[in-house]
Amino acid sequence: MKEKTVTKQLYRLNVEPRVIDQLSKLAARTGEPKTRIATRLFTEAVMSFKPSATRSRNGSRA
């Protein structure tokens, strides 16, 4: 049986203090580590992102 390899790349993001406060409150309520919550939320946001319009190379809408 073939084993699945998991690769994790961490990113340093500049986050507003109010976001960190909300993350801390959520972690305190759930007992889940802040890093795990942040990773899950970031992954969900990136995976569900759908571009709204096609943009040309110079950044203007096509």
pTM for this predicted structure: 0.63
Residue 45 — pLDDT band, cuts 50, 70, 90? very high
Residue 8 — pLDDT band, cuts 50, 70, 90? confident
For residues 33-56, average pLDDT: 88
Of all residues in the chain, what percent carry a pLDDT higher than 90?
50
Query: Would you state the pLDDT for residue 21?
Result: 95
Residue 8, both tokens: 């994790």
Distance from chain centroid for Cα 36: 10
